[in-house]
Amino acid sequence: MAQMTMIQAITDALRTELKNDENVLVFGEDVGVNGGVFRATDGLQKEFGVDRVFDTPLAESGIGGLAIGLSLTGYRPVPEIQFFGFVYEVMDSISGQLARMSYRSGGVYHAPVTIRSPFGGGVHTPEMHSDSLEGLMASQPGLTVVIPSTPYDAKGLLISSIRDDNPVIFLEHLKLYRSFREEVPEEAYTIPLGKADVKREGADLTIVAYGLMVHESLKAAEELEKDGHSVEVIDLRTIQPLDVETIIASVQKTGRAIVVQEAQKQAGIAANVVAEITERAILHLEAPVLRVAAPDTVYPFPQAEGVWLPNFKDVIETAKKVLEF
């Protein structure tokens, strides 16, 4: 075991899989000799060579096409999109092509591609760096979308993503890269995709969250505990497909739920979670399922992040509305 930040756990997962499978290729803008703009691929080119870990021209669409073509020749590409706000340049390769590869070929071809990309607010990035666009990905049949919130989860989920024979979008929250350390096993281990994790058990209210909002929810749960409320916090970890089973089991137990996301209310995937709960557990609900989300505006100018981004106080406020309904 070693104490790792999330970014170290990610590098460790990449190293593990580069070693484990010679078909794994890591490429993107500045991921080679530079080791990535956040050091996620630090040292990998040196260790595995320029044939396995390499830089590309600056063109996201081309990177997507490269990944598709390489997968057709039997490789297991792990491309990086430098910031997920740049995904619009490569939407066709992801949604129009990768996600459909197996289906459109009638199962003849597959796309074992894992696209890594950072996103998320709270660190005053310039425009189009921090936008939460996971909702776009979650609506594309054929894609699995993973968002870890801890170093331990990040390593296990990334290894699972790379080993998956279908395309996976692996989104890494910028604020969580180095915000804390955690014990992470040195050997390879996997965490199943599509499985949520109950990060805190409770009896009165279910909070469903993902990404940075898991930590805001845990913080809120601690505060609520002081007022005598027992709060369960579910970290989705995979936002598509949803782990409906875990969510419903929790709601059936608590009878109350809120869903917390950093994305705007009209975006993200909170509405999906609410719909699933409504369809499957309405008779267990003591109150409506409310959402914590950002305002429906463009992602804020850096100086406005503090007043715009949802935080633990918003979670407490919404939790109380539901608890006191």
**What are the catalytic residues?**
129
Residue 72 is a binding residue for another protein (CB under 8 A): yes
Bridging pattern class, strands 144-146 and 238-240? antiparallel
Helix (H, G, I), strand (E, B) or coil at 106: coil
Report in angstroms how near the CB of residue 97 gets to another protein at its nearest: 6
| Backbone phi, psi, residue 222, to 5° | -60, -45
Q: Which is nearer to another protein, 192 or 295 (CB)?
A: 192
Kindly identify the residues of this chain, within the stretch 240-259, that bind another protein according to CB under 8 A: 240-245
Q: Which is nearer to another protein, 5 or 161 (CB)?
A: 161
Residue 223 is a binding residue for another protein (CB under 8 A): no
Report in angstroms how near the CB of residue 50 gets to another protein at its nearest: 11
Residue 33 is a binding residue for another protein (CB under 8 A): no
Q: Which is nearer to another protein, 5 or 246 (CB)?
A: 246
Stretch that binds another protein, among 13-21, 35-43, 58-66, 129-137 (CB under 8 A): 58-66
Q: Residue 125 and residue 166: Cα distance in Å, rounded?
A: 31
Q: Say which amino acid occupies 184.
A: V
Q: Which is nearer to another protein, 79 or 310 (CB)?
A: 79
CB 174 within 8 A of CB 37: no
Stretch that binds another protein, among 2-10, 105-113, 171-179, 317-325 (CB under 8 A): 105-113
Report in angstroms how near the CB of residue 211 gets to another protein at its nearest: 20
Q: Which is nearer to another protein, 194 or 288 (CB)?
A: 194
Residue 165 is a binding residue for another protein (CB under 8 A): yes
Stretch that binds another protein, among 140-148, 217-225, 253-261, 303-311 (CB under 8 A): 140-148
For 36, the token pair is: 């990535």
Report in angstroms how near the CB of residue 45 gets to another protein at its nearest: 15
Residue 69 is a binding residue for another protein (CB under 8 A): yes
For 120, the token pair is: 């998320």
Single residue of 5, 8, 82, 97 touching another protein by CB under 8 A: 97
Q: Residue 59 and residue 307: Cα distance in Å, rounded?
A: 34
The H or E element spanning position 25 is: strand 24-28
Q: Which is nearer to another protein, 168 or 285 (CB)?
A: 168
Per-residue three-class SS string for 124-179: CCCCCCCCCCHHHHHCCCCCEEECCCCHHHHHHHHHHHHHCCCCEEEEEEHHHCCC
DSSP string, 224-263: HHHTT--EEEEE-SEEES--HHHHHHHHHHHS-EEEEEEE
Residue 311 is a binding residue for another protein (CB under 8 A): no
Q: Residue 70 and residue 51: Cα distance in Å, rounded?
A: 13
Single residue of 75, 86, 119, 210 touching another protein by CB under 8 A: 75
Cα four-point dihedral sign 114, 115, 120, 124: positive
What is the binding site for another protein (CB under 8 A)? 51, 56-57, 59, 61-62, 64-75, 92-93, 96-97, 102-110, 112, 141-142, 144, 164-166, 194, 240-245
